[in-house]
Structure 1
């Protein structure tokens, strides 16, 4: 987040991620990626604010150099904070996820992987320190959300090298290792569910991410950042078809807030197009459905 609002604060290792970070934010800002939601743990909002504040205050950062290339001038800092606040308000661009008890518990499913991963610095001498508490909580939240949403629906984007390597190793450990490291037991005894390796989330290490990797996640890359002409259906939808769409939705048994980010939207689109002869996209189906739901009568059937 800090690297988006003030790119100069990115360190040398994270700098290659600058354009990719900007593309993600700007595409969502321009409403060009309806299938993308930017989620961030609330604790990351606090961390980002701290980074920005530090670079706006030379004494706090521990330097008095007036030529510091990472410095944020006071006027710029005020506009950055204002923009960030607006982007977070109501989840307009970024949706902050409050830290919950189960996120804290789930962090114990990643710490054994972290403890068993030994990395060295680029010079090959000093070891890379284990993740701090904040990074472990981020991973814990990602594990919990992956369990709820499914591995194909959530991807962790990071510019942190240690987190990248830990999540990479997590996807490669064996069932025997998960058992030996206590992951299976913690999931069952402390949190209350049976462990599956699929609960370790997908992730993208942005500084080294290739276009093909990003296309695999989003379907296209770079994401568009300029609004296009709204999609048009092959023919106008009449009132009866709108009601038919509503009934199909109600029979699916999923709340409207979850529908745009679920597999069911694809299923709903297919069912509607098949029964009506339309060739609407998922975005168009959602547009028509949400307009109808705002009129009432959209209670999901159980």
Structure 2
């Protein structure tokens, strides 16, 4: 454990991540599991981004938001999984002070952005179903770009504030994080200074991101449910519900695990459960999102099938030439 002397106290230069070290007998299994999940996530999210960019039929607000979700998941999982695999394969569990700060910043920024983006996607579905005649006018290109830019801006600003507050603390008692990644709860737990202000700031700013997002999602889907009940044709109701089912599934999976992680009691007995829940929304969910949005979408399934059969070769030639 490396320390540097300053202000009559020892400050850590690196942290040690020991999230999965309690079961060395499972290292090979966990390594193969997480590697397969990560590769599937890379393939699925990259495939959706490629399909949306390369096919003009997907140049619509809904698919624009889905492609941004895939981009977030792609970078999100890449921020966490490679370091996790390095710890499992090479037993490299240490991460530098700066590396931990960068990982936490990306982790928080993209996590916050994804939460807000889900709210934007819910609003998009609300306009499409409840105000279809004015959909193209309301969700024009400039509006969509502004909404997505706003989500990234809020996510990045939120992460800057939270990361700066966290790494303004002194870590002199220990450098061991009982987690597989740099996250706020384990970092606050090993600080040798008072973390009351940090916990208040974390609660206020996290709530300012999640509460309005959840409220907008709920209001959107209450209005959507009312609108769907007014549709007389059975096929019309099924089509309207189908366009929302994927989004509802993804939102439910994300928010239930995130709220569980950050609302769980701070005790060693709940630590393992929290770690597993964190694994789900940082590693597994980025893999599931492409499946969720493609399995219930005939257009994406057709495009993915064409891509797997090499029918997009002409697109690659067009891009290259």
TM category (shorter chain) comes to: under 0.3
Which has the bigger relative contact order, CA under 8 A and spacing at least 6? 2
More helix by share: 2
TM-score by length of 1: 0.27
